[in-house]
Chain A
Amino acid sequence: MSEWKAIAEMAADVQSGRVTAAELVEQSLAAIKEHAEFNAIIATLADAARARAKVIDERVAKGEVIGRLAGVPFIAKDNFLVFGAETTAASNILKGFNAPYQATAIEKLEAEGAICVAKANLDAFAHGSSTENSDFFTTLNPHDKTRVPGGSSGGSAASVVLQLAPFALGSDTGGSIRLPASFTGCVGLKPTYGLVSRSGVVAMGSSLDCIGPLTNSVEDAALVLDSMAGRDPLDSTTIERDTEGYAIHEAVSIAGAKIGVIKEYMGEGLDSGVKARITAAIEVLKKAGAEISEVSLPSLPLGLAVYYVLTPAEVSSNLSRYDGQRYGHYTADAKDLHESYTRTRETGFGAEAKRRIMIGTYVLSSGYYDAYYKKAQTVRTKVIREFAEAFEHYDFLLGPTAPMTAFEIGANVDDPLQMYLTDIMTVAANLAGVPAISIPCGLSDNLPVGLQLFAAQKHDRQLLAIAAKAEEIIG
């Protein structure tokens, strides 16, 4: 189905003049137009993208070296600040906001020659698992238009699968890259916490937020991560990059790799079709020589409760800045400042943002802080310890990305708690700050299944290498 070559190959073609950046940008813009019915895209940056392509092609003609992503188009989730289009985070409150600066991730990709062509749909402020919380529209699953693409980076995932661009950027606070990758059948990587700068990305849960790529292959994901990773003075939570980089240069062997299958993710609540695909993949990996056994991390099922205390708390704090005074939606006829705040936030925030802001306000309020927030942070320590213990015995951990395949549009909208349960297998990686990747693992009833692999913190390079091999073997 992939209509784009591997990213490294495409960039080499642009550099050598076999194809122009302008041609790649036009191909991407045409695909976006052709698949508009899927609602993957909020805005295109056609003018800015064409102008950048022209400059790159002129530089190639002069014999200049462009970079490892020379002329390669990409799509950014609309919570990344990018020049050339509004940044809305799919929220009414940010409508009309034109970023005065760009996200560091965008700057780094542009420095390698990549070209942002469009902004993708998401659940507003990245709050959700289906894109149904977008204040604008719901993105449709490329495999079945009656189903959701997952979320919150659902527009990014659908873009990759619809071949609108060779890669897309997403953000992952509790699974928002991996879940839509699983539901749509592409690769989604959440790196180690702090490996990619979040400067210029609309903040959600700051102790959890990570940025990563959605791609057609693990090799592409590795190259994109390699272009973005590392310390940034504008984000003090960033960490040093691996001195060996992340790009995959040669195939590793999976023989002898110690992989633990997370017991808590394979039991009750797991769809039987998903379980069958994951079990079949485990057998294939075993045949290839991987040493696979079951491992128990008993606190993981508590992860979702921890997540739904910490995230609303951090959301309520991060979203306090949207008051209509400095940018975005504004209530012109309010009689005083207080009314200006409350009416701006009433009409500018959707139901889920309000829900999270109020839960966050509750769990952080005096008298409840210890019982909810502090307790959740302490149970988080328990989850982290169990991961650390598991990684003393295993190189990697494995499980499904989600307990189910893509659900029907509207199935969970009246039950927020049911919607939250979609994230049950993805949140733990964010709580522990470890890298995790979702790779396609066949179909169940014609819908994609995602296989999730985890590694210890700062083992992103090893995770990508083994995931590339697993991708090849599972097919």
Chain B
Amino acid sequence: MAKLSREDVLKLARLARISLTDEEVEKYAEELSAILQYVEQLSAVDVTGLEPTNQVTGLTNVMRKDEVIDYGYEPAKLLENVPAVQDSHLKVKRMLT
């Protein structure tokens, strides 16, 4: 039975790039364990001879021509939503500390 520890939750949060408060870590350890315990009923299901389904309507590799389509988006318009811009580039915080 999956029972997540504080360390497990902190690791998941780190992988998912989310900070958590101490209170949240406690709460999620409990809640996530309960959810995982519920879905573990699947482990008992006999699926002999069955393949996993990734696409339900049977489509595979829908191809299109590799060509530029002009949707008329103005770069300036697209940049309006960007929180930090410098000289028409996205500005991000330093990566190495």
Contacts and interface: CB of A to CB of B under 8 A. Distances in A.
Contacts of A458: 57
Nearest to B9: A358
B59 A194 contact: yes
Given A302-B42, A365-B15, A457 B56 contact: yes
Given A361-B12, A365-B15, A381-B53, A337 B45 contact: no
A345 interface: yes
Residue from B31, B39, B55, B94 with most neighbouring chain A CB atoms (10 Å): B39
Contacts of A236: 59, 62, 64
A33 interface: no
- Main SS class of interface, A: helix
B7 interface: no
A336 B93 contact: yes
A377 B51 CA distance: 8
B18 A316 contact: no
Interface in A161-197: 192-194
- Main SS class of interface, B: loop
Interface in A279-332: 299, 302, 305-306, 308-309, 316, 320, 323-328, 330, 332
Nearest to A349: B18
Contacts of B18: 342, 345-346, 349, 354, 357-358
B47 A382 contact: yes
Nearest to B39: A305
Contacts of A374: 52
A341 interface: yes
B5 to A, nearest CB: 12
B48 to A, nearest CB: 10
B51 A381 contact: yes
Contacts of A309: 39, 42
A98 B17 contact: no
B61 to A, nearest CB: 9
B93 A359 contact: no
A231 B38 CA distance: 38
A378 B20 CA distance: 33
Contacts of B32: 355, 358-359, 362
A407 interface: no
B12 A375 contact: no
Contact of B38 (A233, A308, A342): A308
B68 interface: no
A378 B12 contact: no
Given A416-B31, A432-B56, A457-B56, A381 B47 contact: yes
A358 B13 contact: yes
B28 A354 contact: yes
Interface in B45-83: 45, 47, 50-57, 59, 62, 64, 71, 73, 77-78, 80-83
A207 interface: yes
Contact of A325 (B35, B90, B97): B90
B28 A358 contact: yes
A202 interface: no
Contacts of B88: none
B38 A305 contact: yes
Contacts of A372: 39, 42
A327 B51 contact: no
A305 B42 contact: yes
A311 B4 CA distance: 20
A358 B81 contact: no
Contacts of A337: 92-95
Contact of A323 (B17, B28, B81): B17
Interface in A100-154: 100-101
Contact of B17 (A345, A371, A379): A345
Contacts of B95: 336-338
5 contacts: A309-B42, A362-B4, A375-B47, A384-B56, A416-B34
Given A330-B83, A336-B93, 19 more contacts: A233-B64, A237-B57, A309-B39, A316-B16, A324-B83, A337-B93, A338-B95, A345-B19, A349-B18, A358-B12, A358-B28, A363-B39, A377-B52, A377-B54, A380-B53, A381-B51, A381-B53, A384-B56, A417-B38
Interface of B: 4, 9, 12-13, 15-20, 24, 28, 31-32, 34-36, 38-39, 41-43, 45, 47, 50-57, 59, 62, 64, 71, 73, 77-78, 80-84, 90, 92-97
